[in-house]
Structure 1
Amino acid sequence: MSTNNSEKHAYFVGGGLASLAGAVYLLEDGGFKGENIHIIEALPILGGSNDGAGSKEKGFICRGGRMLNEETYENFWDLSSRIPSLEVPNISVKDEILAFDHANPTNAQARLIDKDGNRLPVTDMQFDTKDRMKMVKLFFTDEDELDNVTIRDWFDDHFFTTNFWYMWQTTFAWQEWSSIFEFQRYMKRMLLEFSRINTLEGVTRTPYNQYESVILPIKKYLDKYNVDFSLRKTVTDLHFKDNDNITVSEVECVNAEGNTEIIAVNEDDLVFFTNGCITDNSNNGDYKTPARYLPGNPPSFALWRKIADKKPGRLGNPDPFFTKPDETKWYSFTPTFKGNKMLKLIEEYSGNKPGSGALMTFKDSSWRMSIVVAAQPHFKAQGDDTTILWGYGLYPDAIGDFVKKPMIDCTGEELLTELIHHLHFEQHEADIKESVINVIPCMMPYIDALFQPRAKADRPAVVPEGSTNLALISQFVEIPEDMVFTEEYSVRAARWAVYTLLGLDKKVAPVTEYWKRPDVLAKAIHTSYRS
């Protein structure tokens, strides 16, 4: 650990997982003082897209869920191994999560459900010869040849009718127009999961929602070192020194009272910018009110666009990601119930107790709707008499199969009605609705932005060429071989940024190349022919 950094300051723009991870690495590996680390967040709460909130009285809300993976989240497990559990004395967050997961293994028995309510057999991926050939070709294609190519461009119609597509699409939230570059990264990085995509046995779950299981323990850890958290403060610009390098000289902010503040940045200080947030402009509704679709002027995009224009070609290009919200939006919902009537019915129907089933996808749903029933309680404040589940739809503009209106226009009650009918629980509908505390819909205009087709150069380097004190840490930076939309990507970017800017003789945990292992490849080939 260097002692030369004890007087330096670090400024994090954004209060998500990447910033919190970066702060931990500055403390533990960089020799920074906690009071010299400043995390600036526009919202009144930390965590970015790792969220979870609510109460027993008003209902709970998760905008989304981030699945973990024991084998492939190398840097996430390094980070969480450094953070003490808030629940169990003398163990780390990593040990707490893995102990919970091993005690509650995932083995989905109702991964796909048809329009008649039948649980479908899904060991067969349903590939034809052309599908397999296209997959093999993609596996060996140089990713530099895949700029602006979509999944639909690459595969034929049949591919989009296979069990594999329905499961892979809904597990990771792909669209047909998503980037084939990202799809290829996922196929390689998650090849270990290919043979068990029908059961999702590779999914690692946290004991509670990610805010309480991941973000809060890190926040408490950073509090011990007096890390400075500035909430309700929006960074509106980064000013650079007037030269060919990228050297931040000032951070411009607007505080909660609407006043502009200028933070002077010394040459030895560091700035870390979360360039792009997938939950920008999200909006919640309730049981009687749809969430609103508010795509205009996402703040993280506006700031990224502003600084990218100052250093053309070196800070990436946000336009492919943040200018087509109709392609990047989806709608989620979190029902909260008094008692467990709905969850018991789902358990009897699916064969999975809460927490063991992962995703259930209604493959014929016009909304391409899926639900997850987590282990209960999913929130510490739930108590024994309250239960929740979570669901989402990938096609929010489509008309419902039972509620004849677009998902995007539906109230929480209407979303629950559609779900009840897909499960064919109509005879229990009155009892289920009688037990409802709330159903909170959430519209997220940019949740799939990171999968948009784009050129490889549109994502900036973690530490851009010529940067002396600025690093970019987000799902929109370029990290060779790794896959976006994961906790691992955020932590890896932050760790890489800290070690690089400080010139530390430390290694970021590399991507494990499971796709090169003969046993994993053999399993994948077998799976593609499995019936």
Structure 2
Amino acid sequence: MSNSNKHAYFIGGGLASLAGAVYLLEDGDFKGENIHIIETLPILGGSNDGAGSKEKGFICRGGRMLNEETYENFWELTSRIPSLDVPNISVKDEILAFDHANPTNAKARLIDKNGNILPVTDMGFNTQDRMKFLKLFFADENDLDNITIRDWFDDHFFTTNFWYMWQTTFAWQEWSSIFEFQRYMKRMLLEFSRIETLEGVTRTPYNQYESVILPLKAFLEQHKVDFSLRKTVTDLDFADDDGITVTEIECINAEGNTEKITVNEGDLVFFTNGCITDNSNNGDYYTPAKYLPSNPPSFALWRKIANKKPGTLGNPDPFFTKPDETKWYSFTPTFKGNKFLKLIEEYTGNKPGSGALMTFKDSSWRMSIVVAAQPHFKAQGDDTTILWGYGLYPDAVGDYVKKPMIDCTGEEILTELIHHLHFEKHEQEIKDSVINVIPCMMPYIDALFQPHAKADRPAVVPEGSTNLAMISQFVEIPEDMVFTEEYSVRAARIAVYTLLGLDKKVTPVTEHWKKPDVLAKAIHTSYRN
């Protein structure tokens, strides 16, 4: 049966929705003009962002790391999408060619309070740490509901080199879910053996908005996909039966007027139920970012429809009701010239783009920075440089700037960074080269790691659903790990193939944690010094 007359509605304009639209076009026989992507913001991309200018400075709220060996469906998707910059090549091949030409090999993964680059081949484990790891590796994840990392491990674990590196690479907190931690342990066991160099990290040529989202958007535009921006979905109506069939989508448009979209028989609805960058806010060199956690829109809609269908559409409360536990503060400095980046290169031995994350281990903010290959934005040109950083403990008072990070301006964050690097004698020269330092507060950025029950995340296609799928980082996908590009793409692909009943396979999770050579390297890593 042809799907060419059916319509599909995507609520949210992030990576999952864009991926889902590609799969509907290429595998589902949908017409582009019948695919509608509805987004609150004036721009697509969701949490894959990157914006700004040479005059006002650039901003990345965060950075999504890629991995060549484990992001199975992400690479399948991007192999279908033409590069915007290189003729006759896919986005996948463009990214991998760039990454292979600019390999990651961090030489300054951890830095102490005296500015010393620490040796980190020794994970720092004692026997108790190793035993706890082994127990977790073999634990049944169904027994790990609502347990935190702090509940599982003893105090010593949180002083190890491993914790400082693993925590800041993926943005864990001590109160994060041990269930998610176990998934990461298994899925990223390859990275455990090289966590000190981060050589498994795959980088895009530019920020992910320009390297991933714009090519996807261009591909969909060529197929006449309908983008409805500045429009917020506020409710979904369901048929009056025990199943899950969406009959109407209620929206508020840019003018503040209510619109209602009828969902006809055979039409499909895909909902990004939860967005980690909801309610984010930017500051500037002279102004802190505002902390505005109230009423995140994706949570409000998820809560509303979950109440209508109890027990089937998940429970957003564990993820979105404790913003003080899920927030962190990122910052993007932009400079005229490359003075600061040259100092960092001389200090670390890493040219821009080769060093990945640098963590100031003793920082009260638990601050880390990344110097990407330059330019990180196409609009930078040769005379402008940027870096990115974040602090996991934004409520803590700085070590040099005696204020909580959450109250700091861009200049104050830069001051703290300069002092952690012990570049004080260059401070004025560095600040004279600043175009802007844009801080960003994200109240829900770590929401997906919150302690929760497995049942709090709905299935991609909930039981009883005839036309609704959930395609966010807050759905349950066996064996896979959240906070990744792969999770979004995998969710979208599962959703499309399941709702359409297609005889096509979603690329399975590669079980690296079951491979003898990977296990042997991990055991060796846990004992090396």
TM-score category by the smaller chain?
over 0.9
- 1:8·1:36 contact (CA, 8 Å) conserved in 2? yes
Matching of residues 19-418 of structure 1 within 5 Å: 19-418=17-416
CA distance in 2, matches of 1:242, 1:50: 37
In structure 1, the residue matched to 2:506 is 508
Tell me the SS of whatever aligns to 1:300. helix
Query: Does the 8 Å contact 1:209/1:378 carry over to 2?
Result: yes
**Are the aligned partners of 1:462 and 1:493 in contact in 2 as well (CA < 8 Å)?**
yes
C-alpha displacement of 1:201: 0.3
Give CA-to-partner distance per residue, 1:429-459, whole Å, 9 cap, x none. 0000000000000000000000000000000
Distance 2:190 2:434 in 1: 39
Give the letter aligned to residue 492 of structure 1: R
In structure 1, how many angstroms separate the alpha carbons of the residues matched to 2:240 and 2:436?
54
What TM-score, normalized to structure 1? 0.99
Equivalents in 2 of 1:485, 1:75: separation in Å? 15
Aligned partner of residue 227 in structure 2, secondary structure = strand
User: Any idea what SS the aligned residue of 2:436 has?
Assistant: strand
Give % identity.
89
Unaligned runs of 5+ in 2: none
Query: Which of the residues 480, 488, 491 maps onto 2:489?
Result: 491
Secondary structure at the aligned position of 1:367 is classed as: coil
In the alignment, the residues of structure 2 paired with residue 110 and residue 344 of structure 1 have an alpha-carbon distance, to the nearest angstrom, of 15
Corresponding residue for residue 467 of structure 1: 465
Deviations 1:366-409 (A, max 9, x none): 00000000000000000000000000000000000000000000
Matched residue type, 2:351? K
Q: Deviations over 1:276-303 (max 9, x none)?
A: 0000000000000000000000000000
In the alignment, the residues of structure 2 paired with residue 73 and residue 439 of structure 1 have an alpha-carbon distance, to the nearest angstrom, of 32
- Counterparts of 1:444 and 1:350, CA distance in 2: 29
Residue of structure 2 equivalent to 1:435: 433
- Distance of 1:379 and 1:518 partners within structure 2: 41
The equivalent of 1:476 in structure 2 is 474
Whole-angstrom distance in 1 between the partners of 2:8 and 2:219 = 17
Provide the C-alpha distance between the structure 1 equivalents of 2:272 and 2:15, rounded to a whole number of angstroms.
10
**Letter matched to residue 265 of structure 1:** V
Per-residue deviation, 1:242: 0.5
Within 2, Cα distance between the matches of 1:308 and 1:441? Answer: 34
Quick one: distance in 2 between partners of 1:217 and 1:169?
A: 32
Q: Structure 1 residue runs of 4+, over 6 Å off?
A: none
Partner of 1:453: 451
Q: For residues 82 and 253 of structure 1, what CA distance do their matches in structure 2 show?
A: 32
In structure 2, distance between residues paired with 1:149 and 1:90: 49
Asked whether the 8 Å contact 1:252–1:263 carries over to 2, the reply is yes
Secondary structure, counterpart of 2:145 in structure 1 = coil
Deviation string, structure 1 residues 110-166 (Cα, Å, up to 9, x no partner): 000000000000000000000000000000000000000000000000000000000
Superposed displacement of residue 227, structure 1: 0.1
CA distance in 1, matches of 2:174, 2:98: 35
Report the 3-state secondary structure (helix = DSSP H, G, I; strand = E; otherwise coil) of the residue aligned with 2:249. Answer: strand
* 1:426 alignment counterpart: 424
TM-score when normalising by structure 2: 1.00
Cα deviation code 1:291-325 (max 9, x no counterpart): 00000000000000000000000000000000000
Q: Distance between the aligned counterparts of 1:7 and 1:516, measured in 2?
A: 45
Q: Distance in 2 between matches of 1:360 and 1:193?
A: 16
Contact preservation (8 Å) 1:461, 1:477: yes
CA apart distance, 1:267: 1.7
Question: Structure 1: which 5+ runs fail to align?
Answer: none
Q: Distance in 2 between matches of 1:220 and 1:163?
A: 43
SS at 2:195 equivalent? coil
| C-alpha RMSD of matched pairs (Å) | 0.3
Contact in 2 for aligned 1:247/1:267 (Cα 8 Å): no
Q: State the SS of the aligned residue for 1:442.
A: strand
- Taking the aligned partners of 1:301 and 1:530, their CA distance within structure 2 comes to 44
Deviation of 1:104 after TM superposition, in Å, equals: 0.1
Secondary structure of 2:184 counterpart: helix
How far apart, in 2, do the equivalents of 1:481 and 1:351 lie?
Answer: 37
Is the 8 Å Cα contact of residues 111 and 199 (structure 1) preserved in structure 2? yes
The 1-side partners of 2:294 and 2:494 are apart by: 32
Cα pair 1:147 1:456 within 8 Å, conserved = yes
Q: Residues of 2 paired with 1:530 and 1:355: CA distance?
A: 28
- Following superposition, the deviation at residue 173 of structure 1 comes to 0.1
